[in-house]
Structure 1
Amino acid sequence: MSKQKRSWPEGSLELAVALQRHLAIGDRDWHAFKSQRPRRGAEQLAAALVLLLRGDDPGAPQSSDARRQAIELVEHGLGWLKAELSDPGCPSHRQAPATKLAAD
């Protein structure tokens, strides 16, 4: 019997990081892509993969912090894909609540 390998395949993390960087919506593209739910979902799923590969031992029976964080990101990504989430808007573009002006 062969010994069970307790690590991710060589090069997996580097490939996942490259994919995550490629899919990430940067500041310059935010307004153009913020409402594209599949794109937002893919961004979250790729980030989850990076967390998992970077911080989890696939042979460990217990859940690690990295595994739990990856699960949260996967669930968040699924929320985008299922159209359960939508863009909350850019904080810098939200209008301040109307205030009453004091009478002089």
Structure 2
Amino acid sequence: MALTISCEKDGIPTCIQRKIQGQPLHMRPGGITQYNYRNQTVYFIVSPCCDMFNYLYDSRCETICAPSGGFIGRGDGKCPDFNSKATNPKPVCMDNPK
């Protein structure tokens, strides 16, 4: 079974699109979801595998924090309010098993 990533590219910053393009299949994110968080549009990128942080980026691809993931699954602790404050989730890329 091969995996492909399906993305809605309209309105997604180029730097976010590059997080997927050119990556070997096994290193591509498990999904990207756009949110509103702290009065800005942000992108939550699920890491391709276990024990890796799932990072949150702003529209310039600067890392804000890792709300989840890592060895114990709680992220880096830099944005503990993400789950309660992030609004309007919009999946923009996700795994598509084929």
TM-score normalised by the shorter chain: which range applies?
Answer: under 0.3
TM-score with structure 1 setting the length:
0.25
Q: Which has the higher helix share?
A: 1
* TM-score normalised by L of structure 2: 0.26
Whichever of the two has the greater Rg, that structure is: 1
Greater relative contact order structure (CA < 8 Å, 6+ sep): 2
Relative to its length, the structure with more strand (as a share) is 2
